[in-house]
Amino acid sequence: MKELSVFYYASGADDNFNKVQEDFEEIMKVGTNSSANFVGLYGFGGSHQAKRGLLEKDGAFEALESLAEVSIGESKSFVEQANWAFDNYPSNKLGLVLVGHGTGWQPEDMGSRSTLALNLGDIPSINTLGKTLLFSNTAMRLTEEMPLPAGTLAIGEMPVTGGTLLTKEMRLTEGTPNVRAALVGDFSGKSLDAIELGTCLEEITRRRGKSIDFLGFDLCLMSTIEIISELSEYTHYIIASEQTEPASGWPHNVVAAALSDSEIPLNEHLKKIPHFFHKSYERVPFIDGTTLATLKMVGITKFLVEFKKLVDYLLADSSRHNMLKAAYWSVEKFQCNLVDLCGLLKALYSSGDNTLKEMCDTLLAILLAPDSDDRIIQEFAVADELAGKAYGVSIYFPTSKMSSFYEQTLFSKKTGWGDLMKAAILR
């Protein structure tokens, strides 16, 4: 039996069809070998068609098995295909990598997204807000949660305000209200939210009789404490970004080559992935703010217990709410109402309240302590402009309206963070 099997479960759509195919072709440059099986399934948009098979060295994407009636964003399909991969290509250790679009933990806000159809003709780029965004004729998805003001557009995952859109034809249409947090983008109206991801992993690991060894998200915004809490029981490690990812995603050939070296412990390879990711973009123009972290799940239970103490302390006295509000304004912010978790705790640590200082010190140690083998954030890599601002994990921090879905998450149930948001921020 081989040491490792990795299953890549990828959602393709009009705006990332070539990207995902290129990912599989990158993996096949390394290919299945004596140490590792690399297995992939790529779902095609809303057509319910897919390509599936063993990703062999120098193999051809077109040679993979063709499937019909695979809805890539449905729980049933995810579980069935993961079980197919691990049943047919068993190994001592198991990895699962999701590839496509993501929005963090929340499903509800995706309902207000729209599709911006652009026909750029011979125009090679759009120059606005000091950035040049290059792309070809394609349908791209808006990422604004709130209705966009007149004259405001969002291109891909970059909000654009006050710029000039060079285009021959533009059309805004309402997006599906069923688009949710992970594997977004196949335009079929099917995708997975945080709770569904947990339910799927529970079924997959029950069949195996053990947790999977790692879960990778080559998706945007998935390194949230909400996602991590939901999935921590079913995987030993998670690799994910708290920021939006560049369109090319992970350097899959480099990652596959590292994972093929069975002489080095798997956890050491996993800690290198953020640095592979960062290095692949450090000399690429117009790519800003990349983050990726390798997270160890063993400390999550303790973190939730200690975080609840922090929440209870802040809830107990309304005069402490201003400390939380002040902390928000000094922390790094991401799309979908996400802020950096360690940055928030560091800001609360500096609030001048000694009890709060001790609580934050305990939580930061669980997350980051360099002398602890069980720290949650095992390794992280961020772009230079985010150094000292982003540490690898985000948390939901709504300032105008809280998703009705939020209080169903395990994190909110265990810690009361949703109650604190309503009492201190959304009053």
Segment 67-85 mean pLDDT: 89
Segment 96-110 mean pLDDT: 74
Q: What confidence score (pLDDT) does residue 282 get? A: 79
Read off the pLDDT of residues 262-300 as tens digits, 9 standing for 90 and up: 999 999 999 999 999 999 987 776 566 789 999 999 999
Dist CA 405 CA 403 (whole Å): 5
Q: Residue 132 — very low, low, confident or very high, per pLDDT cuts 50/70/90?
A: very low
Cβ atoms of 40 and 56 closer than 8 Å: no
User: What are the phi and psi torsion angles at 101 (to 5°)?
Assistant: -110, 150
Q: What confidence score (pLDDT) does residue 39 get? A: 98
Report domain 2-105+181-298's class.
alpha beta
Q: What confidence score (pLDDT) does residue 117 get? A: 29
Q: What confidence score (pLDDT) does residue 28 get? A: 96
Structure tokens, 252: 């899959």
Read off the pLDDT of residues 12-43 as tens digits, 9 standing for 90 and up: 755 555 778 889 999 999 999 999 999 999 98
Would you tell me how many other CB atoms lie within 10 Å of the CB of residue 152?
Answer: 13
Domain coordinates in residue numbering, the chain: 2-105+181-298, 114-174, 300-372+394-425
Counting residues of the chain whose pLDDT is more than 90, the rounded percentage is 59
H helices of 147-283, in order, are 194-208, 225-231, 252-259, 266-281
pLDDT at 55 over 80: yes
- Please list, residue by residue across 160-194, b when 16 or more beta carbons sit within 10 angstroms of its beta carbon and e when fewer do: beebeeeeeeeeeeebbeebbbbbbbbbbebbbbb
pLDDT at 131 over 60: no
DSSP code of residue 56: B
Q: What confidence score (pLDDT) does residue 45 get? A: 57
Burial class (CB in 10 A: 0-12, 13-18, 19+), 148: middle
Q: Which residue has the higher pLDDT, 92 or 105?
A: 92
Mean pLDDT (the chain, rounded): 81
Dist CA 107 CA 403 (whole Å): 9
Q: What confidence score (pLDDT) does residue 287 get? A: 63
Q: What confidence score (pLDDT) does residue 285 get? A: 65
pLDDT at 168 over 70: no
Q: Which residue has the higher pLDDT, 60 or 103?
A: 60
Q: What confidence score (pLDDT) does residue 126 get? A: 36
Q: Which residue has the higher pLDDT, 402 or 216?
A: 216
Dist CA 67 CA 263 (whole Å): 36
Dist CA 124 CA 179 (whole Å): 30
Dist CA 388 CA 362 (whole Å): 19
Dist CA 86 CA 327 (whole Å): 45
262 CB-side CA count, 13 A: 14
Structure tokens, 420: 């604190």
pLDDT at 164 over 80: no
Q: What confidence score (pLDDT) does residue 330 get? A: 94
User: Smallest Cα–Cα separation from 326: which of 348, 310, 341, 346?
Assistant: 348
Q: Residue 236 — very low, low, confident or very high, per pLDDT cuts 50/70/90?
A: very high
Read off the pLDDT of residues 182-232 as tens digits, 9 standing for 90 and up: 765 444 556 788 888 999 999 999 999 999 999 999 998 999 999 999 999
> What is the Cα gyration radius of the chain?
21
Whole-number Cα distances in Å, 420 to 147, 263, 317, 337: 26, 47, 11, 15
pLDDT at 129 over 60: no
DSSP code of residue 285: T
Q: Which residue has the higher pLDDT, 109 or 308?
A: 308
